Amino acid sequence: MQRLESHACFGGRQEVWSHPSTTLRCDMRFGVYLPPQAEQQACPVLYWLSGLTCSEQNFIAKAGAQRYAAHHGLILVAPDTSPRGEGVADAEGYDLGLGAGFYVNATQAPWSSHYRMYDYVVDELPALVDAHFPSSTARAISGHSMGGHGALVVALRNPGRYRSVSAFAPIVAPSQVPWGEKAFSAYLGADRAAWQAWDASELVSSAAEKLPLLVDQGEDDEFLASQLQPERLQAACTAAGHPLRLRLQPGYDHSYYFIASFIGEHLAHHARALKG
Amino acid sequence: MQRLESHACFGGRQEVWSHPSTTLRCDMRFGVYLPPQAEQQACPVLYWLSGLTCSEQNFIAKAGAQRYAAHHGLILVAPDTSPRGEGVADAEGYDLGLGAGFYVNATQAPWSSHYRMYDYVVDELPALVDAHFPSSTARAISGHSMGGHGALVVALRNPGRYRSVSAFAPIVAPSQVPWGEKAFSAYLGADRAAWQAWDASELVSSAAEKLPLLVDQGEDDEFLASQLQPERLQAACTAAGHPLRLRLQPGYDHSYYFIASFIGEHLAHHARALKG
């Protein structure tokens, strides 16, 4: 573990760390915000999964989440969105390969040797965080777009592990939209049956735990109709009796200005679950 | 005037505009945040001047100021930091030329044909803002580093024009430190007498208006001893009887994490003056 950045921020510290990942077989970076409370006591952790093209930097620089994390006493952990470095496969386009790990475990060559972001986010990263920072065992997860998909899938596949989950403009049905079809075809292969385990709108129908889903979606999001389609998650939740709070936000787009506007409400939501 | 970006943000809109500048003889961009109150009434304007290497993007993406501007009903205007484009002079290094206009009117070739950021910020930009947006005549100014210098100089040279001024980690005595000596030598020439009119620590001694200065400075700022030296402004203000509130913030560095941590207090300070 190597600390690359450390900045005082709202009375706590915003740091960036690098470490060799055994899961991804490359060096990985993540951002961690340590609130002022972490100097005195163990604090709950909110994991944030970012969207396509992002690194560990976007959320920590643009969301303005540290202010609320300092208020609630939450640690924020924001990993990169894919393996990176020499020997890591890539493809043309921003929506496959580097910056586009989709939080799955790839089974197909050439992706399967490095692209195991699901295992990284669920197992390796939390173990690393718990070993190096004053974290309690209370965990929550959230994310944006591809990372909103990741947050929903990670929470739904791991009953009992996260106290709360939320998402901004998530890809709720990757099996049904171009971004997901392209990524899943590459990472998981042509057999669509294998995709279901990575699709939130499929997973809610068999979720062992009815963890309420909080989803914010901008109504002027440029990807709303083509890639996001929150009505698919809504229909699946209705059919399964799974609690969903889907908030359509008039005028908001897909940018970090949207995330910044509502991240405070999401952190309050998570703080209630994490500290309740 | 051409609108390049428009994002819903905290109930208002964050926009980016481009326009041909007659002062700078090139196209210029600026960010403008319109709070929700601007749909109903004229709102006061806070001008923000950014630091070396910045464009109009840094402040609007990283400072998290929109939340507070929405609360107080302030318009935020954030211009670029230099003229840009074909035919605009540049130099090697990040601290002269593009991204480093220093908010002066250059008198020396090749800079004098475009580098007139002072006139742009004081005259052309406010006239443009007032013509196109629902701004009231109440104005305030703030900035960071080179932009903190700019904010102090602009306020001190224009008694009665700004209701309040503040700065984050400003270059308070550019005539006495390497960044300022390099820029002023190029833009203003070798005669140091011509530099005094662009040096806040010189200007306070003859300021016609005792506008209180609010300055936040991180104690772990990597440029504190070499370039910033707030004690020079403090000594000048003490000698002149000019009100200064200099707050040294333990642990904070020169980054936008520092600005984000205290921008709320600065906007509250400006809101009191602008709406009082």
| % of chain A surpassing 70 pLDDT | 100
Please count the residue pairs, one from chain A and one from chain B, whose beta carbons lie less than 8 angstroms apart.
Answer: 68
Of B9, B10, B255, the CB nearest to A7: B255
Joined tokens for residue A94: 């921003």
Residue type, B20: P
Of B8, B220, B260, the CB nearest to A9: B260
H/E element holding B217?
strand B213-218
Joined tokens for residue B107: 């008198």
Mean pLDDT value across residues B156-181: 98
Answer whether B14 touches A (CB < 8 Å). Answer: yes
Task: Assign 3-class secondary structure to A60-119.
Answer: HHHCCCHHHHHHHCCEEEEECCCCCCCCCCCCCCCCCECCECCCCECCCCCHHHCCEHHH
pLDDT of residue A198: 98
Distance CA A56, CA A21 (A): 15
Q: Is the dihedral of CA A166, A171, A175, A179 positive or negative?
A: negative
What Å distances lie between residue A236 and A146, A150, A229, A231, CA to CA? 19, 17, 12, 8
A79, A80, A82, A87: CA torsion to nearest 10:
-110
B43 beta partners: B135
A154 CB neighbour count, 10 Å cutoff: 23
User: Is there a contact between B181 and B175 (Cβ–Cβ < 8 Å)?
Assistant: yes
pLDDT of residue B172: 98
Of A10, A62, A252, the CB nearest to B8: A252
Closest by alpha carbon to B13, among A60, A171, A218?
A: A218
What's the gap in Å between the CA of A124 and the closest CA on chain B? Answer: 28
B254 is catalytic: yes
Distance CA A204, CA A210 (A): 8
Chain CA centroid to CA A249, Å: 20
pLDDT digits (tens, 9 = 90+) for B202-228: 999 999 999 999 999 999 999 999 999
The mean of the pLDDT values for chain A is: 98
Mean pLDDT value across residues A154-168: 98
Q: What residues of A are labeled active site?
A: 145, 221, 254
Is this complex's ipTM strictly greater than 0.90?
yes
CB contact under 8 A, A253 and B7: yes
CB contact under 8 A, B66 and A257: yes
pLDDT of residue A168: 99
Distance CA A122, CA A127 (A): 9
Q: Considering the entire predicted model, what is its pTM?
A: 0.97
Mean pLDDT value across residues A254-274: 98
Contacts of B40 (CB under 8 A, 6+ apart): none
3-state secondary structure of A1: coil
Which of B4, B5, B6, B9 to substitute to test the interface with A, most A CBs within 10 Å? B9
The answer on pLDDT for B276 being more than 90 is: no
The mean of the pLDDT values for chain B is: 98
Which of A3, A5, A7, A217 to substitute to test the interface with B, most B CBs within 10 Å? A7
Joined tokens for residue B215: 């300055």
CB contact under 8 A, B258 and A8: yes
Interface of A with B in 47-66 (CB under 8 A): 61-62, 64, 66
Residue B177 DSSP one-character state: S
Joined tokens for residue B248: 């040294």
Closest by alpha carbon to A201, among A163, A169, A175?
A: A175
Distance CA B135, CA B42 (A): 5
Radius of gyration of chain A (CA): 17
Whether the upstream peptide bond of residue A212 has omega within 30° of 0, thus cis, is no
Q: Whose structure tokens read 């306020």?
A: B155
Is B206 buried (19+), middle (13-18) or exposed (0-12) by CB count in 10 A?
A: exposed
Q: What is the largest CA-CA distance in chain A?
A: 51
Interface of A with B in 206-265 (CB under 8 A): 218, 220, 249-253, 255-258, 260-261, 264
pLDDT digits (tens, 9 = 90+) for A105-122: 999 999 999 999 999 999
User: Is there a contact between A252 and A263 (Cβ–Cβ < 8 Å)?
Assistant: no
pLDDT digits (tens, 9 = 90+) for B110-164: 999 999 999 999 999 999 999 999 999 999 999 999 999 999 999 999 999 999 9
What Å distances lie between residue B29 and B81, B91, B116, B248, B258, CA to CA? 10, 21, 15, 33, 25
Task: Choose, from B50, B55, B135, B145, the residue flagged as catalytic.
Answer: B145
| % of chain B surpassing 90 pLDDT | 99
Joined tokens for residue A76: 């924020």
CB contact under 8 A, A61 and B218: no
B130, B73, B154, B60: CA torsion to nearest 10:
-90
pLDDT of residue A276: 78
Contacts of B64 in chain A (CB under 8 A): 64, 67, 260
Is A250 buried (19+), middle (13-18) or exposed (0-12) by CB count in 10 A?
A: exposed
**Length of chain B counted residue by residue:** 276
Q: Whose structure tokens read 């620590």?
A: B201
CB contact under 8 A, A261 and B11: yes
Q: For residue B246, which phi and psi values (nearest 5 degrees)? A: -100, 115
User: Is there a contact between B112 and B106 (Cβ–Cβ < 8 Å)?
Assistant: yes
Of A8, A64, A252, the CB nearest to B67: A64
Closest by alpha carbon to B229, among B274, B169, B180, B159?
A: B169
Joined tokens for residue B204: 């306070």
